Each structure stands twice: as structure tokens, then as C-alpha cells.
Structure 1
Amino acid sequence: MATERVLVPIEQSVTLRRTVGYAVESALDSAGAVELHFVAAVTNDERTPTGRRAVEDAEGLLDRVRAWVDEDGGESMTVETAAIGTDRYLFSPRDYADTIVEYVHETGIDRVILDPEYRPGASAPMLRPIEHRLDEQDIAYEEAPVERRTRRAQFVTGGGASRFLALFLVSVGFYLVLGDPTYWFDLVTGAVTGLIVALTLSHVTFPKPPQAVRSTLRTLRFFVVYVPYLLYEIVKANLQVAAVILRPSMPIEPRMTRVRVAVPGGLPLTSLANSITLTPGTLTVRADDQELIIHALIPDAREGLFAGGLERGIRFVFFGRSATSIASPEERGDTEIIRGEES
């Protein structure tokens, strides 16, 4: 009897351990021989510390999967593990799905078992793109019938007063931006709304106590200075993109660019990523550990990224004027074009 080859794509998830257990149990219950393949799809970021760490994490996870197989009684079972996709840059869910389908064809996989929480390199579930590709190729698959644990957010403790005040100020400020800060009714309703939001959500909004009030007010003051600069960059980028579109030759040069920024993670990195996305001609695809993957439509947009104007602006907001003296990404050598597209 021919050996059945079963593929299980893996990524760290709340249901991975039980998915591996189900795959081993199915193999043990099978009447014939079964060869289990566990693969981790990893995008080609090996030239950066983040990418190398991702590959190392994938290899460590594959080692753990082998240990789980042994724990579940599959010591004598044929098990193959591999990190796939490292020879290319995986961008969209479709790219990950294509990589898995290629492995299926290369190794003669008969059946695929899917972890219901499988989502490599993405925040959205991956099952639908993979299911579509498997259906297109007439590849048999099933979703592991495992129970999903309820994800409970841990309530933060400590810094109650600072959390309350920070959320109150942010809520009132946002309310007045949408309303009229000169109208007494909006001032009163904004204060009431901010009070309700702070009372009900201040203990779950911040993962750690916010900075002292003085520091927070300084950041808000610097942010007010940053907004006109951001608007200027948005208007300038609009004109640059419009000029390119109106030219008969349309010299559009789409490029995927990796930029290592001198901005820490958390709110500063998120603010920079969103500022770049707000600027026409650029789109932040991924923000992770001080590294941004950005799609730039035209050369001027790409040169602006390398010059680091928005990066300096964000450093000014969160760390003051002295932080603007840091060299630009281009001067630091922290830029790289990782994929080009034909226009």
C-alpha cells in the first residue's frame, strides 16, 4: 500500500498544539502508512535582523513540533519539517498560499490539514486564500476540528490616575476636533463624553501607565507643531503624484522598499507608519521592530522616504528637538529596495 503524505502548514497559534495532536492521531488511526510534513512559510527577510530572527523562530517552532509528535506517540512515524518561501519575498496571503501549493506539488502531498488559526506574517486569518488555491488545484484538505480557546485580555494594573487623565484628555480632544471647540455645548458634551470613556475604559486602554502629565502635554504641544508639516508633506506628495499621472509617459516606478527607522516601536512607530500611509504615493505594508516595508509609487516618494523627513518629525514629537539631529535612513545605510514592479 502506498504511503499517504499529509501536509500541515504551521505558525505559532493558540490551536497549533492541538492541530499537531489531531494530525498525529489521524495518522495513527490510518490503516496504511502515513508521512507527515510540517512546513513553516517564512518570507525572505534574511538580510535583516528581523528576518533572521523570523527564520530562527520558524526553525525553533519546527523542532517543537517534532517533540510534540513524539509526545503524542509518533516516535516511529515518518516526519518531515521544512521552512519554505525563504527564496522569495512573501507579501500577500496569496503569496503564502502559492508557496504552500508549490510544496504540495513538489513533494506529492495527498492531503492537507489546516490549523483554524493559521495566519503566517499577517494579522488576518489565512484560511480562505489557502482554501481557494487548494480548491483550484483539486487538492484534498480539511480544517483540524480542534477547540479554540477564548482569548482573554489581561487587565492592566497600576498607574490608574495617569491612565484616567490621559484617556480623558485624548477623548475630549478628539471630540472637539470633530465638533466646535468654541461652542459651549460641544465643550460640555465633550467633557461628559471624555469622562464616561475614561471611567469605563481607562483600565484596559493602555498596556502600561502613560507618561507623566508634563511629558504628555509636551508631546501634545510638539504634535501640534508636527501637524502643519505633515499637511505640507501630504500636499506636496499630492502634487508630485498628480504631475506624474498627467504626463503622457506616466513615469511610475512602483517599488517595495525596506527602511530601518530610528524610531522605537509602539506609538512612535505606529505614528510614523500612519503618517507615511497618509502621504500619497507611499503605503506602509508592514511595521515591525523599527523596520518598515513601504510601497512607493514614484521616485520622488521613495527619495522622500530615504531623506527621512517624516521620521525626524515623529522623533521631534516624542523625543524633542535634540532627536532630529540623527542621520537620515539614507545616510545611515538603512534603506533597501526589495522588489520592483513593472508599470
Structure 2
Amino acid sequence: MTQESDARVLVPVGESSTLRNTVAYAVRTAREEVDETDGRAAVHFVYPALWRAVEPTRAQKFEQAQELLDRVELWAEEDLGDSDTDTERVDIETAVVGAEEYLFSPADFARVILEYADEHDLGRIVVDPEYQPGGNAPMLRPLEYELTKSDRRVEEAPVERPTRRGGLVGRESLTQYLLVFGASYLFYLTLGGFSGTFDLITGAISAAIVSLVLGQIALKGKPNFRKIPGEVGRLLLYTPYLLWEIAKANVSLAYVILHPRLPIDPKMVQFEAAVWNDLPATTLANSITLTPGTLTVEVSQREFYIHSLTKSSREDLFDGALERAVRFVFYGRAAARIPSPKERGATREGEELSETPNESVTAEGGSD
């Protein structure tokens, strides 16, 4: 790797606790590479898009990405200092990449990053050690592996990370493990039966494996055992309701399929659900997917991106029956009275699959 190529640096960026120090490291090392030459250095900061081209909120997310890049550029200029020589010899550039694509896997992110590096002749890639290209998904190591497949020098910025304290298994995490073990054990025995010693032993082994692997992933925070009996009881009421909704959706979809004109109207839709925490959001997302005619594509905090096959399936979704039922399970009867997504005005339609212009669902109502 030549000194000139080391002085031309690409840095993928995203919100992280170590981003500021990574910017300083990239600028400093690029400047050091050309201190003894008459050449120029360049540091390009790129933000791989985490949104889809059809998302209704893509403009807002693009603005947020641009704000982060503007902040990064100010940091880089601050690190260069007031020296006119350094400013003239080090070029700072920022860009959003992959905005018109659907970036999903580490290979997708690596591809758009390397394409940008090829276009701008950047020979070194500096990676923020806390950078997560997939949002909350742990994709940094796979991304670094994909980047190393190129002929570029890839390095992780040697910056100090925030200390993460705490024992491997504390009292709170032990409670989580025990709860996941109990739920997994009961589920195994319910499916396999309570017929003998073999089922009891194999069920315990399977539940132990599940709890070790998913003990701190399935639950966040200390479980509230006072609320669990009520949630379980309401979940038992929710299950036949969900099965009834699935049956109705199957009949409706069968009618569409058997109709001579095949009256489908596929669209991507988005709504902000009035659910909080991971388990209620996961329950709602899976319930929507289990109901024929709708498919949960992505959940980002409280924003749900749904592919709907027919107009009636969208109307049912926006009427909020499933959302209301999920709120009833996890938050009780009072939460079930929160207005529906349509009443809250929290729904939007993205571009149709046929690439027709965007349409908006207009609805009056208060905000959640």
C-alpha cells in the first residue's frame, strides 16, 4: 500500500459513541501520511442509507443523515485547525450512498462503500469500532470481512470505547434466564407431551440451550412478575381472536385469488404504532405477518413498514384492530381505547409497486 493511497481515506459513518474520535483519527492519520510529501490527502465520510426508496419518511431520514454528515465535516475542520497549509492539503468530503437501493446484508453495505471508494480512488477504509450499519443489528464484523475482500487497507480506528460494566450473570440477568427457561420448557412440554421421563429430560436440555443463547436477548430489563399473570391471561384471550382474524383474512384473500379480474392493489404502507418496548412491537409485527394480505417488512422503533396486497387489508390495518388487541395484552384495558392509526393520522402510503406517484392517507384525529 503506497503512502499516497493511505492518505486517501474513506470512513463509513453513523451515530455512535466513538464517532467523534474516529473522525479525529482518520483526519490525523491522513494528514500525517502527506506531511513529508507535496501531495494531498482526502478524507471522505459516507453515510450508507438505512432507508428504502419507497419509504414515506425517506426525506426526513435523509435530512437526519445530512445533519450528521454536516456535524462530521465540522469536526474534521476543527481537527485540521487554523493552519492554512493543512486545510489546503487535506480535502474533506461527505456523501450519502445507497439511497436508491435496498441495503440489507453486510455485503450490500460493503458493495456501495467500495463502489464509492472506486469512484473516488480511495485506498484506505477506516471503520468506527462502534459503527452499526444495520441500526441495532450487529453487522460490524461481517461488514469488515466483506470490505477486506477488496485490495484496500481496512482498519478499525484504535479509539477508546465506553466502558461496559457488569457481571456476566447478575441477579437481574439470572431472572431473565430463569423466565426464558421456564417459558421454553413449558412450550416444549406442551408440544411434545408430558408422557414420560424422556420428554422431561430432553425438554429441560432444550430449554437450557434456549435460555443460554437467548436469555439476555429475549427480554430487556428486569421482568415484572406482578404483571406477567395478567399478560398471560390476556394473551390467552388474544390467541383465539388472532386465529379468527387469520381465518377471515384467508377467506378474503381466497376471494381475491379466485376472482376473474384478480383485484389486487399492492402497496407499501407505513404507520406509527402506539406500542412500546420490543415484545409488544414484535407481537404486533408477527400478528400482521400471520394475517394473509399483509406482511411486516421492517420495524424501526415504532414505525412499521407493511406490504399490503389489497385495499381492504390496508383498511383493516389502519382501523387498528390488531394494534388495539396487542395493547390490551401488554398494557391492559385502558390502553385498548387509544385511537386507531387512522384516527391518529399516523398512516401513510408509499409508492405503489407499479411506480405510480405517492398517495397519502388523510385522516383527522389527535396524536398519540
CA distance in 1: counterparts of 2:267 and 2:234, whole angstroms = 32
**Displacement, 1:199?**
8.8
Instruction: Specify the alignment match of 2:14 in structure 1.
Output: 11
Verify the 8 A CA contact 1:159 1:209 in the aligned structure 2: yes
Pairwise CA distance, 1:338: 2.5
Aligned residue in 2 for 1:297: 309
State the Cα distance separating 1:226 from its structure 2 match.
Answer: 1.0
1:256–1:296 CA contact under 8 A, matched in 2: yes
Q: Which residue of 2 aligns with 1:142?
A: 152
8 Å contact 2:41–2:91 — kept in the other structure? no
Shift of 1:230: 1.7
Task: Kindly indicate whether residue 179 of structure 2 is the aligned counterpart of residue 166 of structure 1.
Answer: yes
**Distance 1:92-1:236 versus aligned 2 partners, 3 A rule:** farther
Q: Does 1:272 align with 2:280?
A: no
- Closer, same or farther in 2 for the Cα pair 1:92/1:145, shift >3 Å? closer
Query: Could you tell me how far apart the structure 1 residues matched to 2:230 and 2:28 are?
Result: 57
- Note if 1:21 corresponds to 2:25: yes
Q: State whether residues 9 and 30 of structure 2, in contact with CA within 8 Å, keep that contact through their aligned partners in structure 1.
A: no
Distance, in Å, in 1 between the alignment partners of 2:112 and 2:209 is 45
Equivalent position SS for 2:156: coil
Task: Tell me how far 1:224 sits from its aligned partner.
Answer: 1.2
Write the letter of the residue equivalent to 2:234.
Answer: F
Q: Does 1:318 align with 2:301?
A: no
TM-superposed deviation, 1:297:
2.6
In 1, distance between residues paired with 2:320 and 2:214?
34
SS in structure 1 at match of 2:227: helix
Contact 1:254/1:295, CA 8 A, preserved across alignment: yes
- Structure 2 match to 1:109: 120
Deviation at 1:277, TM superposition (A): 2.2
**Residue type at the aligned position of 1:217:** P
Offset from partner CA, 1:136-169 (integer Å, 9 cap, x none)? xxxx862513389999895463447754652343
The residue number in structure 1 matching 2:364 is none
Aligned AA for 1:222? R
Deviation at 1:276, TM superposition (A): 1.7
Q: In the TM superposition, what whole-angstrom CA distance separates every residue of 1:3-37 from its partner, at most 9, and x where no partner exists?
A: 99654332346986568735753564255212322
Q: 1:336 aligns with which of 342, 345, 348?
A: 348
Q: In 1, Cα distance between the equivalents of 2:234 and 2:90? A: 61
Give 1:304 shift.
2.0
Cα 1:243–1:92 change in 2 (3 A) is farther
CA shift, 1:202, in A, is: 9.4
TM-superposed CA distance for 1:60, in Å, is 4.0
User: In the TM superposition, what is the alpha-carbon distance from 1:69 to its structure 2 partner?
Assistant: 6.4
Please, which runs of 5 or more residues in structure 1 have no aligned partner? none
CA pair 322-12 structure 1, distance change in 2 beyond 3 A: closer
In 2, distance between residues paired with 1:321 and 1:113? Answer: 57
Matched letter for residue 120 of structure 2: I
**Contact 1:19 1:144 (8 Å CA) reproduced:** no
Q: After alignment, is 273-282 or 310-319 more displaced?
A: 273-282
Return the alpha-carbon distance in structure 1 between the equivalents of residues 282 and 65 of structure 2. 21
Report the number of matched residues. 327
Q: Look up the equivalent residue of 1:312 and give its one-letter code.
A: R
The amino acid across from 2:186 in the alignment is G
Q: Is there any run of 5+ residues in structure 2 with no aligned partner, and where?
A: 356-368
Between the aligned partners of 2:16 and 2:286, the Cα distance in structure 1 is 27
Q: Are the aligned partners of 2:286 and 2:296 in contact in 1 as well (CA < 8 Å)?
A: yes
User: Once the two structures are aligned, what percentage of the paired residues are identical?
Assistant: 31
Q: Distance in 2 between matches of 1:274 and 1:92?
A: 22
Match of 2:235 among 223, 229, 232: 223
CA RMSD of aligned residues (A): 4.6
- Confirm or deny: 8 A CA contact 1:21 1:69 kept in the other structure: no
**Equivalent in the alignment of 2:223:** 210
| DSSP-derived class of the 2:155 partner | coil
1:334 to partner: Cα distance = 0.4
Aligned to 1:235: 247
The farther-off stretch of 148-157 and 270-279 is 148-157
Deviates more, 1:90-99 or 1:285-294: 90-99
Deviation at 1:170, TM superposition (A): 1.0
Question: What does residue 339 of structure 2 align with?
Answer: 327
Structure 1 CA distance, aligned partners of 2:292 and 2:158?
A: 41
Residue by residue, what CA displacement relative to the aligned partner does 1:21-65 show, whole Å, maximum 9, x if unpaired? 3575356425521232212234473666x8766654554455445
Q: Which residue of 2 aligns with 1:39?
A: 46
Once the two structures are TM-superposed, the CA of residue 238 in structure 1 deviates from its matched residue by 3.0
